[in-house]
Chain A
Amino acid sequence: MRLAATCLVLLAACSPDIAKGTYFCGPERFCPPDMACDDPTYTCDSTRLAQPFACPAGSEALEPDDSGADAVDDGELDCGESLVGERVGCVDQDGDEDYLTFAVTGECVGENPHLEVTLRFPIAFVPLSIDLLDDTGATVAEGVLCTQSGDLTGNDRVCIERALAPGRYFLRVRALPDGPDCDGDCHYNQYTIIVAYPLA
């Protein structure tokens, strides 16, 4: 009897025990059973405590910026300088796009002067994409996934690294076309964008 009781106690210890609020939500708000994705923190939590998505405070301050004509003008991109540092944005509905524009006025001197764009967004909701467009609207470069292994932020990163000729450019942020979006139920996301022009 004692042996049986010991076995039962040991078996109880062999059941996975996942505490609430200890994992970021997976793609398409994926969470363990009996938990739900708390959208504001994109963390798996109690179904009772999980809150619906809302754009972070200040993320829509630059709206409307949904087209090239309405793009946020960030001015001239200076050699070796940061143009945008940790700007928070939000894509909150189907078809929503955010644009920003800048101008490169001359050639930069350096070992490897290039545009460096990083877009960071939670994995839990629809993936975002970023494109570099020229002044005609043609795509110059597309962002590629650049999430570092061991990232513990629950975010994915998409990057563009490209040398630019002088001219006017646009950066377009939008939901990845045909990206997984919980069949439309999580077709939204927040993001942070960083734009710089390092010389090396």
Chain B
Amino acid sequence: MVRRFAALGVTLLLVAWSARAGAQDYFQQGGSEALTFKVERERTTRQKVLIGSLFGGSVLFAGVGLLFHIDSKHKSDEVSTDAGHHTGQVYTEELDDTRRAALRSRNFAIASYALGGGLLVGTFVAYLLTDPGEETIRVGTEAADGSGARLLVAPTDSGALVGGSWRF
């Protein structure tokens, strides 16, 4: 009786798997060869935090750089002049302070952009280096000890259905 239920279960499982796989013939002729498929591995939490931190830092520094950039632009516009057009203004210490502040903001913007860019590159490198790769899953493999045990794994939408069959 148990054998019948086991056989029925396996049959239903294989039919379901066959329907999911569509036209592909994973079981091939003979049915005794292993069925393999690949699954993406997940990054560890630490790796995710690292990548997120690097990317967040790059966005942060880009934003700070943009603020300094806008400040620099605003101050530069205050003191910049066009050739051949006398402003009628006197060049005072206050104007010179504005000019120096514009240069200071420009330098901060460059530094922030450089840091942000560096962190963005770091994010990309970390993404590549922490790539967990794929895992190959074999389905229907005979146990090495010759007991006739068979592992059955069927992917589903939210994970996989794992089962097995043994000889008694």
Contacts and interface: CB of A to CB of B under 8 A. Distances in A.
Interface of A: 4, 7, 10-11, 13-27, 30-32, 43-44, 123, 152-154
22 contacts: A7-B113, A11-B113, A13-B73, A13-B76, A14-B72, A14-B106, A14-B109, A16-B79, A16-B99, A16-B103, A17-B80, A18-B79, A18-B80, A18-B99, A21-B83, A22-B83, A22-B87, A26-B92, A26-B93, A32-B91, A152-B88, A153-B88
B115 to A, nearest CB: 13
Interface string B33-63: 0000000000000000000000000000000
B113 A17 contact: no
Given A15-B72, A17-B76, 17 more contacts: A14-B102, A15-B102, A18-B80, A18-B99, A19-B82, A19-B83, A22-B82, A23-B87, A23-B91, A23-B95, A24-B88, A24-B91, A30-B93, A32-B96, A152-B87, A153-B88, A154-B88
B122 interface: no
Contacts of B87: 22-23, 152
A27 B109 CA distance: 32
B89 interface: yes
Nearest to A29: B91
Q: Is the interface of A mostly helix, strand, loop or mixed?
A: loop
Interface in B95-144: 95-96, 98-99, 102-103, 105-106, 109-110, 113, 117
Interface residues of B, number: 32
Q: 8 tightest CB-CB pairs across the interface, nearest first?
A: A152-B88, A19-B83, A22-B81, A14-B72, A23-B91, A26-B91, A16-B76, A24-B90
Contacts of A44: 91
Nearest to B87: A22
Contacts of A4: 117
A152 B89 contact: yes
A4 B58 CA distance: 14
Nearest to B90: A24
Nearest to A44: B91
Nearest to B82: A19
Nearest to B71: A14
A30 B73 CA distance: 24
Nearest to B62: A7
Contacts of B83: 19-22
A32 B92 contact: no
Contact of A14 (B73, B82, B86, B92): B73
B81 A18 contact: yes
Given A14-B76, A32-B96, A23 B90 contact: yes
B72 A19 contact: no
A19 B96 contact: no
Contacts of A18: 79-81, 99
Contact of A30 (B81, B92, B109): B92
A173 B109 CA distance: 51
B88 A15 contact: no
Contacts of A13: 73, 76
Given A11-B106, A17-B81, A18-B80, A26 B99 contact: no
A15 B106 contact: yes
Contacts of B95: 23, 26
A45 to B, nearest CB: 11
A11 B66 CA distance: 10
A43 B98 CA distance: 19
A127 to B, nearest CB: 13
